[in-house]
């Protein structure tokens, strides 16, 4: 349902429990990694660097936000300490995770060490009953705009792995106030862009509103609520507007009570890509 929540393919560091279970001998360390030898001073330095470079998306405690929670034992794009270093250094193409070049190698290792320490923390508890949330998900017709586990219509963001990308607070906000967040995507071509922007195009044959799928100097492509993609030459539009701060996702603040919201949030948190 909350396409706002998932939109962000900005799945920076994602957990895959199934993979973790299948690789019991991989302890996430390697011989070249300095992380096992790090002391409290290193981790404190890593925390400080994390607060400058990472916390804006991953939260001050690494508990997630626009980016995923890092308080997980296993991260999807990370197989060992070296790959964690590379993800921090280079980013993850096609997601919201940018690379960073300001910290030097030692500092990146300190950040990586701090991220590893987050993996030892217990995962965020669910606020409600995910089974009840699953019923609400179906009853609320969320699938008319979202695909989850292959089912539904792809107008808003896919929710199959939304539990890996968002924490409970972000998911709740997406349900109750979907205008509040504007997830970003990182693109090698255009840099970091507003990933799910509502746009309105007034053409000679009518007015169109939808999610911006693509845009350049000359044209814009949008997906309307039926999932239909429309392409326009900007020069031929009578008007073109970017509706910053306006989500096509309806707010459920007055529709769901607190318990319903907690249940639905819990169901969404349970969506971690496993079927």
Q: Which residues form the interface with another protein (CB under 8 A)?
A: 52-53, 56, 100-105, 184, 188-194, 197, 215-218, 242, 244
Nearer to another protein, 51 or 140 (CB): 51
Between 188 and 204, whose beta carbon lies closer to another protein?
188
Residue 47 C-beta: closest distance to another protein, Å: 15
Residue 256 · residue 212 · CB < 8 Å: no
Least separation in angstroms between CB 13 and another protein: 19
d(CA 219, CA 93): 24
Nearer CB in complex with another protein: 139/217? 217
Minimum gap (Å) between residue 260 Cβ and another protein: 33
The backbone torsions φ and ψ at residue 165, rounded to the nearest 5 degrees and listed phi first, read: -100, -25
Q: How far is the CB of 217 from another protein (least distance, A)?
A: 5
Q: How far apart, in Å, are the Cα atoms of 41 and each of 33, 45, 111, 113, 114?
A: 17, 6, 12, 11, 11
Structure tokens of 104? Answer: 């030097």
- In Å, how far are 63, 97, 98, 239, 247 from 57, measured between CA atoms? 10, 9, 11, 34, 20
Q: Which is nearer to another protein, 25 or 217 (CB)?
A: 217
């Amino acid at each position: 349902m909350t396409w706002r929540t998932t939109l962000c393919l900005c799945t920076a560091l994602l957990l895959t429990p199934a993979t973790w279970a299948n690789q019991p001998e991989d302890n996430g360390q390697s011989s070249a990694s300095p992380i096992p030898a790090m002391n409290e001073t290193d981790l404190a330095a890593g925390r400080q660097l994390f607060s400058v470079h990472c916390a804006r998306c991953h939260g001050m405690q690494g508990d997630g936000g626009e980016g995923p929670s890092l308080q997980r034992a296993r991260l999807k794009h990370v197989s060992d300490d070296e790959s964690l270093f590379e993800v921090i250094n280079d980013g993850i193409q096609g997601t919201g995770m940018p690379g960073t070049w300001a910290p030097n190698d030692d500092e990146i290792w300190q950040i990586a060490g701090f991220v590893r320490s987050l993996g030892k923390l217990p995962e965020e508890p669910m606020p409600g009953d995910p089974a009840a949330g699953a019923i609400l998900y179906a009853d609320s017709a969320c699938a008319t705009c979202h695909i989850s586990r292959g089912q539904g219509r792809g107008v808003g963001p896919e929710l199959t792995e939304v539990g890996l990308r968002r924490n409970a607070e972000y998911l709740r906000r997406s349900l109750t106030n979907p205008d509040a967040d504007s997830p970003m995507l990182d693109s090698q071509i255009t840099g970091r862009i507003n990933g799910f922007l509502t746009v309105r195009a007034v053409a000679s044959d009518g007015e169109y509103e939808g999610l911006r799928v693509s845009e350049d100097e000359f044209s814009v492509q949008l997906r309307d609520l039926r999932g239909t993609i429309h392409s326009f030459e900007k020069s031929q539009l009578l008007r073109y507007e970017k509706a910053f701060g306006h989500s096509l996702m309806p707010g459920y603040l007055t529709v769901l009570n607190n318990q319903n919201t907690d249940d639905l949030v819990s169901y969404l948190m349970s969506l971690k890509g496993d079927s």
